[in-house]
């Protein structure tokens, strides 16, 4: 009595195509059909190999590969499938196994529904043709899926299998992200700690010490899907990935990788210029200013001290004499900042140095002096708030823009009339050319005026945004008592240090 290996497979695409009233492709019905045929033929079933949610082109199917191994060891005599395409949609695999290795190993292949039988030499060509058709269909399907996903990505629709940490898929629209407030608080906490001076390593340690769940642990606790295995610790990679992810400012960034081939699950990284980035597709968790500040700090690769915290002046100090950066140096009497060039090549720069305590005290005093000039809220309004004036200017310019747009519409209408007059013979080609040039010249002049007015509105909005930004900064740091890295990062572009102990020069360049 021949021993039979039954192989059944159902891909994710097959499952989605199933009609509620048609279970013919289901795993259960495939098994039932094939077992019934074995009973009818008097064959003994050795084992049922079952691959669910695997494509027929996937070469990593676990049960399929186990069956091939068993076939090589001749643990059975026949491989039985519903159709040849259930075995494989890859023409190379059909040729390799059904038409080459199986005969060598003494294994017969039978596809029940499509009458594929390796013992029947007469239908070999038809089996090969079917294999080619299956592969063509698979290629077409792959390209169609790629095109559909690319279109969705370019529209800013989320097509990822899982929502990024801090978000969930909108229950009313699976292609839209909504904030998961509990997870979003963790994301905000990470950005806040980083701006306070925690390095990536120390930040990961702090999150673990605080027993804050990492993304996979959190999602598992909420019954959400996640990628990969569930690790219960924060790694530097996961922290860094969150800090640089634009999804947290409301942008979708997708299409970073692409499949090497429809036959393989392996992917390769694409150039950033090829990524699909769409701005403002969902509600942000992190404001743009905070994100940009973190991005700037990350790009400078600022190192943390032995305490795990970055120096509050890291990457902010320059030697007034040579313009080079200043390095932090710990001594028995405290921390000092010295010229880097002088440290490595004393002959190149006379150098300068300053103690951390003196610099902190001086900068704090300068910050307080800066805010003392704005101590009166009414004075702040007088100096910075020109909202009403801006509104009046924008209204005036908008009226001019409206008038110019009407003139442009008239010119375009006139051109159409001239064209019809030329077609109808009312005017000659030469007359049309002269009048057409006049219309073009007039339209170009109006368009130039329009561009200048739009630029002026943009400048007004930028000035207003700058004023609002300075007001916000003043309000946030008005009563500062102790200097920290966040304050320095927010307020100061860089500081130049010069002079000597008796004649210290400290020049602060503000961010506004």
Comparing 145-159, 293-307, 340-354, 477-491, the range with the smallest average pLDDT is 293-307
Residue range 59-77: average pLDDT? 92
Q: In terms of pLDDT, which residue wins out, 394 or 74? A: 74
β pairing state of 108-111 and 78-81: parallel
Q: Label the pairing between strands 3-10 and 78-81.
A: parallel
Mean pLDDT, residues 130-139: 59
Residues sharing a CB contact under 8 Å with residue 485, sequence separation 6 or more, in sequence order: 195, 196, 197, 309, 310, 311, 312, 314
CB 167 within 8 A of CB 176: no
Which pLDDT does position 8 carry in this prediction? 92
Query: Higher model confidence: residue 234 or residue 126?
Result: 234
pLDDT in tens, 456-483: 887 777 666 655 555 566 566 666 778 8
Residue 377 above 70 pLDDT?
no
Task: Tell me the range of 120-124, 255-259, 466-470 where mean pLDDT is highest.
Answer: 255-259
SS3 at position 386: coil
What token pair was written down for 358? 């003196």
- Residue 280's region, left for phi above 0, alpha for psi from -120 to 50, else beta, is left
Residue 78 scores a pLDDT above 90: yes
What mean pLDDT do residues 370-398 have? 62
More confident residue, 27 or 261: 27
Task: Give dist(CA 479, CA 338) in Å, integer.
Answer: 30
Least confident stretch, 200-204, 382-386, 419-423: 382-386
Return the percentage of the chain with pLDDT > 90, whole number.
20
- H-state helical runs in 347-428: 356-372, 377-384, 387-424
pLDDT at 23 over 50: no
Which position has the higher pLDDT, 45 or 423?
A: 45
Distance of CA 17 to the CA centre of its chain: 30
pLDDT tens figures, 424-446 = 787 888 888 888 888 888 888 88
Higher pLDDT, 438 or 486: 438
pLDDT confidence of 378, banded at 50, 70, 90? Answer: very low
| Chain mean pLDDT for the chain | 80
- pLDDT above 80 for 317: yes
pLDDT of residue 43 exceeding 90, the answer is yes
User: What predicted TM-score, i.e. pTM, was given to this entire model?
Assistant: 0.45
pLDDT at 17: 47
CA distance 465 to 37: 77
Alpha helices in 253-337 (DSSP H): 288-299
Please determine, for residue 66, whether its predicted confidence score (pLDDT) is greater than 80: yes
């Amino acid at each position: 009595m021949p021993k039979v290996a039954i192989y059944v497979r159902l891909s994710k695409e097959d499952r989605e195509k199933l009609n509620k009233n048609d279970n013919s492709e289901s795993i259960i019905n495939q098994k039932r059909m094939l077992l019934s045929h074995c009973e009818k033929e008097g064959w003994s079933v050795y084992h049922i190999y079952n691959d669910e949610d695997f494509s027929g082109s996937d070469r990593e199917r676990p049960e399929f590969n186990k069956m091939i191994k068993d076939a090589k060891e001749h643990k059975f005599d026949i491989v039985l499938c519903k159709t040849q395409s259930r075995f494989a949609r890859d023409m190379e695999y059909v040729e390799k196994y059904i038409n080459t290795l199986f005969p060598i190993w003494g294994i017969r292949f039978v596809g029940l529904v499509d009458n594929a039988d390796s013992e029947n030499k007469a239908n070999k060509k038809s089996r090969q043709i079917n294999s080619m058709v299956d592969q063509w269909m698979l290629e077409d399907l792959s390209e169609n899926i790629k095109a559909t996903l690319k279109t969705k990505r370019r529209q800013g629709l989320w097509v990822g299998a899982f929502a990024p940490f801090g978000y969930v898929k909108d229950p009313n629209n699976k292609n839209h992200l909504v904030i998961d407030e509990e997870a979003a608080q963790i994301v905000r906490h990470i950005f806040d700690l980083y701006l306070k001076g925690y390095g990536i390593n120390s930040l990961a340690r702090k999150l673990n010490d605080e027993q804050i769940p990492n993304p996979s642990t959190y999602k598992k606790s909420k019954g959400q899907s996640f990628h990969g295995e569930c690790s219960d610790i924060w790694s530097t990679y996961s922290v860094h990935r969150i800090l640089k992810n634009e999804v947290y400012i409301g942008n979708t960034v997708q299409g970073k990788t692409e499949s090497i081939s429809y036959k393989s699950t392996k992917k390769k990284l694409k150039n950033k210029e090829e990524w699909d980035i769409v701005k403002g597709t969902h509600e942000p968790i992190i404001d743009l200013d905070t994100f940009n500040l973190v991005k700037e700090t990350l790009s400078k690769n600022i190192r943390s001290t032995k305490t795990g915290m970055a120096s509050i002046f890291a990457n902010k100090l320059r030697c007034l004499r040579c313009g080079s950066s200043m390095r932090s140096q710990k001594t028995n009497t405290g921390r000092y900042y010295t010229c880097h060039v002088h440290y490595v090549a004393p002959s190149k720069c006379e150098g300068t140095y300053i103690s951390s305590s003196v610099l902190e005290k001086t900068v704090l005093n300068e910050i307080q002096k800066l805010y003392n000039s704005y101590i009166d809220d009414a004075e702040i309004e007088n100096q910075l708030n020109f909202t009403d004036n801006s509104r009046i200017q924008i209204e005036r310019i908008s009226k001019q823009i409206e008038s110019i747009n009407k003139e442009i519409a008239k010119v375009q209408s006139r051109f159409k009339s001239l064209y019809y007059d030329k077609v109808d013979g009312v005017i000659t080609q030469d007359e049309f050319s002269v009048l057409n040039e006049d219309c073009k010249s007039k339209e170009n002049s109006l368009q130039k005026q329009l561009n200048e007015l739009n630029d002026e509105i943009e400048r007004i909005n930028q000035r207003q945004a700058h004023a609002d930004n300075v007001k916000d900064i003043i309000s946030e740091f008005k009563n500062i008592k102790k200097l920290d890295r966040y304050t320095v990062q927010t307020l100061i572009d860089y500081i130049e240090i010069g002079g000597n102990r008796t004649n210290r020069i400290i020049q602060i360049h503000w961010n506004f």
